[in-house]
Amino acid sequence: MDIERKDKNITPDWTDARERVTSVYNALVVLVGEMSDKVASAENVEVKKAGRLVRYIVDMIADDDPLLLGMALCETRYDYPDRHPVNVCILSVSLGHKIGLGKKQLAELGVVALLSDIGKHLVPPEVLNKDGIYDEDDWRAMKKHTIQGCKAVFGMGDADEQLMKAAIVSFEHHLQADLSGYPKVRHIPAQDFYTRIVAIAELYDALTAHRSYAQGYRSPDRAVRILLEKAGRELDSVLTRQFVSMMGAYPTGSFVQLDTGELCIVVQRHDVFFKRPRVLVLSDGQGRPVKPFIAALSKRDKNGRYLRSIKKTLDPNKYKIDYASFFYSKPSGFRDID
């Protein structure tokens, strides 16, 4: 696949996987910003470019490239309004791939997920950007974004099947599996299948990001536990368990302290030992910075004892950790002791 020949506005050169992932991710973030501006000013939104970019996402996920999922999970704390839809798209497609959807369905799901929260940009700026916890009036304005988003999607062009599904998911993604959410409905027997996938991805990304109107950051492992608590009521139970299985006990992006005292970022889950992922070690046991290196927590000594184990998760914001700069440094910048 050569993205340069197909669309020169996306990237001039892909020399390695990291550049490829970063290029597509950033192109999607820019595109979301453009679409949001057009929706807010009632201009026509071009969906075809979104479709092209999402197809690259699908190809990367189908190739089991861990970098793409890592990019989404490590970027959730930066520029939330534009990055959130991109992260939801990647998480949704990843879950769809795990449960066996074909590439055509995954591409459709990705575009649907990318457009699911477009109504947020029709919320009054003083509400959307409010610094602090929302009051009742703020929430009343915010909850209108599902209906506003549905209408906005219908206004994007000819109502083909993909846009119809995007409108449905935009309307339903806060409805909850037991229909106890919003907007209030009377005649919908159940959420759409795509909605149930997007709702899980949307909640996970929201939980692990700082937002002005939210209750604060939750660690990825805490977010996974919250999802499980909501499974069967607010979230589809089967899909939630598939999502949790995909993420592992300590999802990519978790900031953890090991029993050695070292501080690390989880960069890839283990396929068998879910509590023993690969981590990027950032400090020694006394908290002093070290040249980052990859360590496999599944590695044992000659007596069969694990060399390193996760002791607890931490809030990276208290340590001023820049996830992206560590996770996407050149491979030559790391030592790998696996």
pLDDT at 235: 97
Q: Which DSSP symbol is given to 121?
A: G
Closest alpha carbon to 104 in 165, 20, 18 = 165
pLDDT at 20: 82
pLDDT at 328: 54
Specify the CATH superfamily of domain 3-247: Hypothetical protein af1432 (1.10.3210.10)
- Which of 72-76, 152-156, 188-192 is predicted with the least confidence, judged by mean pLDDT? 72-76
Q: Inform me whether the pLDDT recorded for 86 exceeds 70.
A: yes
**For the segment 229-281, what is each residue's pLDDT rounded down to a tens digit?**
999 999 999 999 999 999 888 888 788 999 999 999 888 888 888 889 999 89
Q: Inform me whether the pLDDT recorded for 331 exceeds 50.
A: no
Residues 47-56, mean pLDDT to the nearest whole number:
92
Residues 193-206, mean pLDDT to the nearest whole number:
95
Where exactly are the structural domains of the chain? 3-247, 255-336
- Rama region for 157: left / alpha / beta (φ>0; ψ in -120 to 50; rest): left
pLDDT grade, residue 12 (50/70/90)? very low
Task: Evaluate the omega torsion of the peptide bond into residue 183 and state whether it is cis, within 30 degrees of 0.
Answer: yes
- Rama region for 231: left / alpha / beta (φ>0; ψ in -120 to 50; rest): beta
pLDDT at 216: 62
Q: Inform me whether the pLDDT recorded for 113 exceeds 70.
A: yes
Residue with tokens 């490239």: 65
Integer CA distances (angstroms), 308 to 52, 163, 305, in order? 42, 48, 9
d(CA 336, CA 338): 6
Output phi, psi for 54, to 5 deg. Answer: -65, -35
Beta bridge partners of 289: 283
pLDDT grade, residue 217 (50/70/90)? low
Q: Inform me whether the pLDDT recorded for 286 exceeds 70.
A: yes
Quick one: tokens of 117?
């929260």
d(CA 212, CA 251): 24
Q: Inform me whether the pLDDT recorded for 15 exceeds 70.
A: no
